Amino acid sequence: MRPPPLAGLRVLDLTRLLPGPLATMHLADLGADVIKIEEPGGGDYARTAGAVHGGVSYFEMVNRNKRSLTLDLKQPAGVEAFMRLAAAAEVVVEGFRPGVVDKLGVGYRAVSSINPRVVYCAITGYGQDGPYRDRAGHDLNYLGYSGLLDQIGVAGGAPAVPNFQIGDLLGGSLSALVGLLAAVVDARSSGRGRYVDVAMTDGVFAHSLFPLLTVLGLGQVLPRGQDLLSGGMPSYGVYATADGRHFAVSAMEPKFWQTLCATIDRPDLAPFAFATGDEGQRIRRELEAVFARRSFAEWTTVFAGVDCCVTPVLRFEESLENEQLRARGMIVEVAGVKQFAPPFKISELPFAARRAAPAAGQHSAEVLGEAGFSGEEIARLQAQKVI
């Protein structure tokens, strides 16, 4: 069997909570040896803070296939141990506020001075420079500054808060993966690493394509719920059924819209797929009245065999049982906990849960031993509560 594509890639993961740990879990799923470095004691805050409903913490869902090393970087012996590990690492990922790792003595300049090949990725809310660099923030703050939050919601309503961390996951996790893997490819050929500065606000802002198109065309965005994709065009939107459920209509191409109109026995609506303004709202009301006549189950049956981009809006527990997602193997069980499989399918790379999310410090002695620490050195670090 072929080794996984990132086999042999050694990653030191200083991140906690969500954006960084998810990014490094993707690396681990692809075969990288990810060493999660946590503070002695409680470790990553997500171990406890993530269990918001009294059940499983999301920590378990974003830290599989990693090893855990507890290391007190506030002690000189902890910094020295980290630097010995960093000398042989290809990647370091951190998610502290700008300047923190430099104060600790484990920043990019310090690491690259002993390991010029290292790729050092920093994930922050606002980046390493600019007037906001030192500000605290969470997902909603990044969405707010990027202009995206103002665009989400219905006409006349307040901005809608998504139950999906767009800034953390798109702006943080995925943007970091693109940047650091590009730098790894370069480092392996050139022998020189790079510093990768990822700001979650930048990641959201850089993907807000349709608001930018509107500004370029009109000089400003349209009010929430009135742009083409947020309610201004009847062929793209969400429609309520008779029993309070919803259907997603994305019949943007003329052939799909015409098929939709034929299926609901309203051929008179066929010319108005791209209607906007008052006419667009009139057609939307017509479509709302049609969908309100039947139940969710009835419409599901009607559109089951019709290829026109009209689909049920599933509740999440229904998505867990959805035949397409199950056929793709998107739900796996690791140590008794349901979680997501990797969202990419790569030939000759079956998903493998080699390890469940580790206990804090579970692999400390193992990792240090592999790095050349003697048993006496490890015992001394334990006695000093460095690990």
Q: Tell whether 195 and 84 lie within a shared domain.
A: yes
Residues 376 and 251 in one domain: no
pLDDT at 125 (0 to 100): 98
Is the distance from CB of 341 to CB of 351 less than 8 angstroms?
Answer: yes
Q: Which of 13, 168, 197, 202 is catalytic?
A: 168
Residue 264: burial class (beta carbons within 10 Å; 0-12, 13-18, 19+): buried
CATH of the domain at 280: 3.30.1540.10
Is 256 a member of any domain? yes
Based on the fold, state whether residues 27 and 170 are members of the same structural domain.
Answer: yes
Whether 116 and 55 map to the same domain: the answer is yes
- The Cα 344–Cα 121 span in angstroms is 22
Domain membership of residue 3 (yes or no) is: no
Contacts made by residues 125-129, CB under 8 angstroms, sequence distance 24+? 125/167, 125/199, 125/200, 125/201, 126/199, 126/200, 126/201, 127/98, 127/197, 127/198, 127/199, 127/201, 127/202, 128/98, 128/197, 128/199, 129/98
Residue 92 lies in a domain: yes
Residue 265 lies in a domain: yes
312, 335, 364 — which closes off a domain? 312
* CB contact set of 93 (below 8 Å; sequence gap of 6+): 11, 12, 13, 14, 15, 20, 23, 24, 121, 122, 123, 176, 180
The pLDDT of residue 277 is 92
pLDDT along the chain (387 residues), means of 10: 95 97 98 97 88 83 98 98 98 98 98 98 98 97 97 94 96 98 98 98 97 96 91 95 98 97 97 94 97 98 97 98 97 95 96 95 97 97 96
| Residue 317 belongs to a domain | no
Which of 284, 312, 340 is where one domain is finished? 312
Residues 232 and 190 in one domain: no
Query: Is residue 102 domain-shared with residue 189, that is, in the same domain?
Result: yes
Residues contacting residue 188 through CB under 8 Å, at least 6 positions apart: none
Active site residue 138: yes
Q: Tell me: do 145 and 285 sit in the same domain.
A: no
CA distances from 242 to 237, 285, 294, 299 (A): 17, 15, 5, 10
Say if residue 160 is in the same domain as residue 295.
no
- Based on the domain organization, do 93 and 56 belong to the same domain? yes
pLDDT of residue 346: 96
Q: Which of 259, 284, 312 finishes a domain?
A: 312
pTM assigned to the model: 0.95
The answer to the question of residue 76 being in a domain is yes
Number of domains forming the structure of the chain: 2
Domain assignment present for 278: yes
1: in domain:
no
Tell me the Cα Rg of the chain: 25
- Distance between CA atoms of residues 18 and 26, nearest Å: 12
Claim to verify: residue 56 and residue 188 sit in the same structural domain? yes
Same domain membership, residue 337 and residue 189: yes
> What dihedral do alpha carbons 283, 285, 290, 295 form, nearest 10°?
140
CATH number at residue 127: 3.40.50.10540
Say if residue 73 is in the same domain as residue 133. yes
Q: What is the pLDDT of residues 238-252, one digit of tens each?
A: 999 999 999 999 999
Q: According to the model, what pLDDT value does residue 53 have?
A: 76
Q: Give the residue numbers spanning the domain of 16.
A: 10-206+327-383
